[in-house]
Amino acid sequence: MEVTQPSRPGAWDKAQYPILVSIHIQSNKPDHFRQFCDRLANSCVDPTRVELIVKIDDDDEAMNELLPIEVARQPFQLKYISTPLVGGFFALWSSMNDMLEVCDPGAYFLLNLNDEMWFEDYGWDKRLERYVGLFPDNIYRLRTSIYKYRNYCDNWECGFAPETSAITTKRWIDIGGNWNPCLGPDTFQQCVAFYFNGINQSLSSPRYREIPITDVSFGGEGAFLGLQGEALRRRVRGGTKAWFRLMSPEVQADALKRAAKLHAAIGAQELGLSFDDVRIDIRGRNAIVPDPRTTEPAQTFSFSFPYWRYRIRNIFRSLRFVAYGGGGREAAKVSLLSSYSLFLVYRYDWAEDVRNEVLGHASTISGEQSKVTLKQRSRRLLVRSLSYPIRGALSVPQFLGRIKARVVGLAVGIRRLLVRSLNYVVGQALSIPWLLSRVKSRVVRLAAGIVNRLKSGGPLG
């Protein structure tokens, strides 16, 4: 990927964009948050052009007491929202959109971090200033993480290797509507960028708007840091559920739509139009840039999405979840049985219970025996996991009684219908001779009457 050079020094216009970057985080640890604030203030050349917004829980007394103190103490602009934590850790993503609503409208960049990360080098804000106005439409992302040079070939890559600390222009986020519709902002925005680059394949002049930079870096990158044991397993299980929400056709279609809107906004800028002139055709699934001279479509970007193809692919990939979810070639060597068993444990609480039962004696097994018993345990886990819902349903007598009653009732109904149908057919068949005899007698009487009238010379009418 080509590295774009910074724009000329002094490109940042403080009058137009009073806030260089607005940083959005969540925190429930007073010590971590206080340290985060101090590190941020001490690493800036000019803290007044930095905004920090933090989401805290409304019932977190320690954080609610700390925030007013920090607002007065810190040299940068500090805001906070104190709201209920509904749904636990894996529902925190919605607070990103809440923080966006209170973000300074004059912010140029947006950045999502956690309270254990920090800027590694002093003066990062002065260096970031040079990247303002890199493109005239102000639609791009600066990539800073360990994945900044990665090219994505599949949307699942966006889930396990996203750009975790992208510095994104506020206009990029605003055009999409918000930060994210699910967990999390980094993975979802990486999906948007993935589809943005996919649209590039149909353009004669591709647009590259993911810019890797090397002069702004962060410490403390990583997921699930400090977690272990049951806490780690709960986090992994919740993350697996969130994964399939992220990779669902509905969310991926939303990412594609946002990518099409970004391309349309860039196209409108090139034609001297604003994003308000872009037409979103929901029925035709197109983002349309009109020609300013004729109002006919000048550029069209499709966001038509193959829902069922993605549904079917997700089902099959769940069988090899560890491999497709970032395990790579080594994970692909694991047997299908073991791979699917592990997925069930990652995904479902009841499978974890079965796993604990099966692996309860694992510590007493070693060497070659452990390899054999691992296969046996995996097979038992799979069989039990598949039979679990079946046993649960069939073991209920009321369920079997209802099935039996429905079957008997259906059989009786069919029998009655057949008997009635047969009686009707037989009755119709038996009534034919009687009907013919009645017709014959009427015809004979009519003919006799005509003959008698002719003999007597009377009129026939």
Question: How confident is the model at residue 229, as a pLDDT?
Answer: 59
pLDDT band at 206; cut points 50, 70, 90 = very high
Give the model's pLDDT for residue 399. 55
Instruction: List phi, psi (to 5°) of 25.
Output: -140, 165
Q: Which of 354, 369, 394 represents a domain boundary (last residue)?
A: 394
Cβ-proximal residues to 279 (8 Å cutoff; 6+ apart), any chain:
287, 288, 290
Same domain, 190 and 142: yes
Q: How do residues 437-459 score in pLDDT, each as one tens digit?
A: 777 777 778 777 777 777 676 66
pLDDT recorded at residue 36: 97
Is residue 184 within 8 Å of 93, Cβ to Cβ?
A: yes
Instruction: Note the pLDDT of residue 57.
Output: 96
Yes or no: say if 289 and 268 are a contact pair by the CB < 8 Å rule.
yes
End-to-end CA distance of the chain: 107
Instruction: Give the per-residue pLDDT at 417.
Output: 81
Q: Per the domain annotation, does 430 fall within a domain?
A: yes
Query: If pLDDT is split at 50, 70 and 90, which confidence band does 231 have?
Result: low
User: Does one domain contain both 444 and 349?
Assistant: no
Task: Give me the pLDDT at residue 357, please.
Answer: 67
SS (H, E, C) the chain: CCCCCCCCCCCCCCCCCCEEEEEEEECCCHHHHHHHHHHHHHHCCCHHHEEEEEEEECCCHHHHHHHHHHHHHCCCEEEEEEECCCCCHHHCHHHHHHHHHHCCCCEEEEEECCCCCEECCCCHHHHHHCCCCCCCCCCCEEECCCCCCCCCCCCCHHHHCCCCCCEEEHHHHHHHCCCCCCCCHHHHHHHHHHHHHHHHCCCCCCCCCEEECCCCCEECCCCCCCCCHHHHHHHHHHHHHHHHHHCCHHHHHHHHHHHHHHHHHHHHHHCCCCHHHCEEECCCCEEEEECCCCCCEEEEEECCCCHHHHHHHHHHHHCCHHHHHHHHHHHHCCCHHHHHHHHHHHHCHHHHHHHHHHCCCHHHCCHHHHHHHHHHHHHHHHHHHHHHHHHHHHCCHHHHHHHHHHHHHHHHHHHHHHHHHHHHHHHHHHHHHHHHHHHHHHHHHHHHHHHHHHHHCCCCC
Residue at 456 is within a domain: no
Which range of 132-146, 231-245, 350-364 scores highest in mean pLDDT? It is 132-146
My answer on whether 370 and 442 are in the same domain is no
Give yes or no for a cis peptide into 184 (omega within 30° of 0). yes
Do 344 and 445 lie in a common domain? no
Structure confidence at residue 461 (pLDDT): 55
Q: Tell me: pLDDT of 9 over 50.
A: no
Q: Indicate whether 335 and 370 sit together in one domain.
A: yes
Q: Please give the distance of CA 46 from its chain centroid, rounded to a whole number.
A: 38
Q: Are residues 326 and 431 in the same domain?
A: no
Of 5-19, 192-206, 340-354, the range with the lowest mean pLDDT is 5-19
- The mean pLDDT of the chain is 85
* Percentage, residues of the chain above pLDDT 90: 57
Evaluate whether residue 285 is within a structural domain. Answer: no
Q: Please check whether residue 460 lies inside any domain of the structure.
A: no
Contact (Cβ atoms closer than 8 angstroms) between residue 251 and residue 194: no
- pLDDT greater at residue 422 or residue 193: 193
| Of the residues 197, 226, 255, the one at which a domain ends | 226
The pLDDT value given to residue 124 = 97
Across the range 186-209, mean pLDDT stands at: 96
Q: Please tell me whether residues 210 and 337 are part of one structural domain.
A: no
**For the chain, what percent of residues have pLDDT higher than 70?**
80
Higher pLDDT, 460 or 276: 276
Q: Quick: pLDDT tens for 242-295.
A: 999 999 999 999 999 999 999 999 999 999 999 999 999 999 999 999 999 988
Q: Which of 226, 245, 276 is the last residue of a domain?
A: 226
Check residue 341 and give its pLDDT: 80
pLDDT in tens, 339-352: 888 788 777 777 77
Q: How many domains does the chain have?
A: 3
pLDDT interval class at 361 (50, 70, 90): very low
Question: Which of 4-18, 124-138, 148-162, 168-182 is least confident?
Answer: 4-18
User: What pLDDT is recorded for position 363?
Assistant: 40
Give the model confidence (pLDDT) of 104-115 as tens digits: 999 999 999 999
Query: Do residues 375 and 418 share a domain?
Result: no
- Kindly report the length of the chain: 461
Q: Is residue 56 left, alpha or beta, with left meaning phi > 0 and alpha meaning psi from -120 to 50? A: beta
Residue 388 and residue 334 in one domain: yes
Domain extent for 183: 19-226
In a domain, 249, yes or no: no
Please check the confidence at residue 360 and state whether its pLDDT lies above 90: no
Q: Can you name the residues that pair with 50 across neighbouring β-strands?
A: 21
| Residue-level pLDDT at 88 | 82
Convert the pLDDT of each residue in 294-326 to its tens digit: 889 999 999 999 999 999 999 999 888 888 888
Residue 231: inside a domain, yes or no?
no
Q: Three-state SS string across 238-265, please?
A: HHHHHHHHHCCHHHHHHHHHHHHHHHHH
Higher local confidence (pLDDT), 91 or 165: 165
Same domain, 201 and 348: no
How do residues 24-72 score in pLDDT, each as one tens digit? 999 999 999 999 999 999 999 999 999 999 999 999 999 999 999 999 9
pTM: 0.76
Q: Is 367 domain-assigned?
A: yes
Most confident of 109-123, 223-237, 325-339, 410-424: 109-123
Same domain, 387 and 415: no
Q: With the C-alpha atoms ordered 128, 130, 131, 136, is the resulting torsion angle positive or negative?
A: positive
Residues 444 and 347 in one domain: no
Q: Is residue 309 assigned to a domain?
A: no
Pairing of strands 118-119, 107-112: unpaired
CATH of the domain at 173: 3.90.550.10
